[in-house]
Amino acid sequence: MDQKKVAFVTGGSRGIGAAIVRRLAKDGFHVVAVARSADKLSEVCAQVKDAGGSAEALACDIADSQALAGAIEKIAEAHGRLDVLVNNAGITRDGLILRMEDEDFDQVINTNLKSAFVAIRTAARPMMRTKGGRIINISSVAGVAGNAGQANYAASKAGLIGLSKSVAKELAGKNITCNCVAPGFITTDMTDVLNDQIKDTVKGHIPMKRFGVPDEIAAAVSFLAGADSSYVTGQVICVDGGMVM
């Protein structure tokens, strides 16, 4: 049986997810990095191993509930434990509400919210067996304050907050915490496509006048995954440069 604590991170192939994988590995976890494609995951895991950490890549479509639940069960059985679950993977299908198709709404809700529900329901069992665990859901400031043109995305991220607070109450007695990290505008592939004018406009609404970086989100996840957060549950930590106050 593996004695190293195990963390399961979805959307671990790039951006915020890759930063979380690297940070948790640095913290001493064996990290299972999950994404649809194994190619980029392998690069992230190689970086972890080069830095002296422990990680493995697992290709899985988290929108497939059966596949996701099976993957979590397989990892927990293989390592004899599952200590941390980070639901980070997400998609966008932006559009104004009057033009948004049902499919665009459903895909975002299924990938961003339902997958977290399935993952939490599955991961809770091995966590209960080892009498403790950390569940961390990556929400968004859009889920806290809303965002025009992102009704589906904001709904999914707000749903994560409600889900997290409910799970926190249900599992607190089992020594399992559940919290949210809500990033603001972070320098990732998603924000790189914005032109300079839009970026400058957005920065004008951020008190710190800059975008965040993935490592700053990973630092918040590191805290919530560690021993120092043992009495923190049901909370939303906004890492947004002061956008939401």
HEC readout, 87-100: ECCCCCCCECHHHC
The conformation of residue 237, written as its DSSP 8-state character, comes to: E
Q: Is 231 a catalytic site residue?
A: no
User: Contact, 147 vs 185, CB < 8 A?
Assistant: no
CATH number assigned to the domain covering 6-238: 3.40.50.720
* Residue 195: other Cβ atoms inside 10 A: 8
Catalytic residue among 8, 105, 153, 185: 153
Domain extents for the chain? 6-238
CA distance 17 to 98: 32
CA distance 177 to 167: 8
Give the per-residue pLDDT at 191.
75
Tokens coding 126: 């091995």
Instruction: Say what the pTM is.
Output: 0.95
**pLDDT tens over the chain, length 245 residues:** 457 999 999 999 999 999 999 999 999 999 999 999 888 899 999 999 999 999 999 999 999 999 999 999 999 999 999 999 999 999 999 999 999 999 999 999 999 999 999 999 999 999 999 999 999 999 999 999 999 999 999 999 999 999 999 999 999 999 999 999 999 999 987 777 778 888 888 899 899 999 999 999 999 999 999 999 999 999 999 999 999 86
Give the per-residue pLDDT at 199.
84
Give the per-residue pLDDT at 42.
93
Rounded to a whole number of angstroms, the distance between the first and last alpha carbons of the chain is: 45
